Amino acid sequence: MTKKLSKQGRFRGYASVFNRIDAHNDVIKPGAFTDSLKKRRIALLWQHSISNPIGKILEAVEDSFGLLVVAKLNLELRLAREAYALMVDGSVNALSIGYKVVRSEKDSKSGIRMISKIDLWEISVVTFPANEMAKISKIKAATPL
């Protein structure tokens, strides 16, 4: 993974990775975000705190791997500058999602919940993601990510 510094605070990464068991014993299936992404702007928060927005999601798309996002920190905010510093030095390098499950099935033997539809509310920059593959992959300037 490469990290490139940016005074603009832009970054990208996977907020969720498909077909992977997370810390809550959930698996998010491809297509789970499709309807939700059309419905509303998704908030960008710090550590899932609704009182701590730190920027905005510029783009969120599902690809074959997961939910890829491009976001921009609002560096006018003290907390966003602190988050940016932690992201640049690698202390914080993960993303996580806040959502409501709309449709799922639970496997009675394994206890794994297969989530096929999600109502996505927010994406957070976090220290400890539920899905360990949900990582920030680039921190870059205003050039295309």
Any idea which residues carry the catalytic annotation? 48, 96, 122
3-class SS letters over the chain: CCCCCCCCCEEEEEEEECCCCCCCCEEECCCCCHHHHHHCCCEEEECCEEEEEEEEEEEEEECCCEEEEEEEECCCCHHHHHHHHHHHCCCCCEEEEEEEEEEEEECCCCCCEEEEEEEEEEEEEECCCCCCCCEEEEEECCCCC
